[in-house]
Amino acid sequence: MFGASVLVGAVISPAIRRALAPRAVLLLELWTATACGLFLVWPNVYVLAASIVPTAVVIPSSDAVVHGYRIAMTPDRLLGRSESARILMSLALSPLGPLTAGLLLEVSARAAIALFTAVALGVAVWGTASRALRAAPRLEELHSA
């Protein structure tokens, strides 16, 4: 279900990015991630699965915004280096997610979801209050500068 939702999100991503400002796209992902908290109110695997669908649909749009911004803001002479560093950090840290999730799930599924929801809520509030996100220009404005 998650994979199919990401595919749907990839198909509609251009329309979302045209319709919404970059800040709105990013905040959409941040706030939809908090929907997992529904599992704490109604502990059912189907509720948990359905609560991640909105985030899965938005992920391709926010990825495009973030990657586009990063590439647009990086000087051409540093693009290869910065992308290499990003990929190295990303690949080095990627095993920690499943490891941490597995350890948390061994303790308690509800505790793991509660921790994820609390972190997601904190990040969503921080993103909403972020001055940098409020002032972010559209990608088209970066290209014309």
Residue boundaries of the structural domains of the chain = 2-144
Average pLDDT, stretch 12-23?
Answer: 91
Residue from 28, 18, 23, 24 nearest 54 by CA? 28
Tens of pLDDT, residue by residue over 89-145, are 999 999 998 999 899 989 988 888 899 999 999 999 999 999 888 887 766 776 665
The pLDDT, as a whole number, for residue 144 is 61
Q: At what angle do helices 79-93 and 45-73 cross, to 10 degrees?
A: 160
The pLDDT, as a whole number, for residue 45 is 87
Q: Higher-confidence residue: 144 or 71?
A: 71
Distances (CA, A) of 128 to 19, 92, 106, 125, 137: 19, 29, 33, 5, 16
The pLDDT, as a whole number, for residue 60 is 95
> What is the residue-averaged pLDDT of the chain?
90
Q: Is the dihedral of CA 76, 14, 122, 33 positive or negative?
A: negative
Q: How far apart are CA 94 and CA 85, in angstroms?
A: 14
Rounded to 10 degrees, the C-alpha dihedral 35/41/45/48 comes to: 0
Average pLDDT, stretch 20-44?
Answer: 90
pTM value surpassing 0.85: no
Average pLDDT, stretch 40-65?
Answer: 91
The pLDDT, as a whole number, for residue 43 is 87
The pLDDT, as a whole number, for residue 87 is 93
Supply 138's token pair: 């559209």
Distances (CA, A) of 43 to 25, 75, 114: 29, 48, 11
